[in-house]
């Protein structure tokens, strides 16, 4: 049976990366590990590691991306919680069999090789949930 093994990150959607980093990095003192462009997701991501997980600040880089539409509709704030799983395919099958609505029925692969998929907020009580297999 597939298992959730860890919280990987909490993603926060921002409209101004510099302003967001002023708070998270300068004010709170969380170290900025990397600021990366992610063309496949039309986003810029700031990675701020913290106690075995990360805060990820995510800014859309294209006005027509899903992230930009999310930001326009809901404004800046928490975007999703990412959970690590030991077997993403088995977890997606289990979720589907239990009636969960999936955004990705098969995992996608990130540039760094991590496999990921999203569960629709309709099935989670309103929270977008990402699954990662590291």
The pLDDT of residue 40 is 84
pLDDT one-digit tens code per residue, 36-88 = 999 988 999 999 999 889 999 999 999 999 999 999 999 999 999 999 999 99
The pLDDT of residue 125 is 93
Which CATH fold would you assign to the domain 4-133?
Answer: 2,3-Dihydroxybiphenyl 1,2-Dioxygenase; domain 1 (3.10.180)
Give yes or no for residue 111 having a pLDDT over 90: no
The pLDDT of residue 91 is 98
| DSSP secondary structure string for all residues of 16-52 | -HHHHHIIIIIIT-----EEEEEGGGTEEEEEEEETT
- Give φ, ψ of 19 to 5 degrees: -65, -45
Q: How many CB atoms lie within 10 A of CB 11?
A: 21
- pTM score: 0.90
Nearest to 55 by CA among 37, 29, 74: 29
Per-domain boundaries in the chain = 4-133
């Amino acid at each position: 049976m597939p298992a959730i093994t860890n919280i990987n990150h909490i993603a926060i959607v921002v409209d101004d990366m510099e302003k967001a980093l002023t708070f998270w990095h300068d004010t709170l003192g969380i170290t900025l590990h990397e600021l990366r462009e992610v063309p496949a997701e039309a986003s810029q991501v700031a990675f701020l590691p913290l106690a075995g997980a990360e805060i990820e600040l995510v800014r859309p880089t294209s006005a027509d991306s899903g992230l930009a539409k999310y930001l326009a509709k809901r404004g800046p704030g928490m975007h999703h919680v990412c959970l690590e799983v030991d077997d993403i395919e088995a977890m997606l099958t289990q979720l589907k069999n239990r009636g969960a609505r999936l955004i990705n029925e098969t995992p996608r692969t990130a540039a760094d090789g991590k496999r990921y998929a999203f569960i629709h907020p309709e099935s989670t009580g309103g929270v977008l949930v990402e699954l990662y297999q590291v």
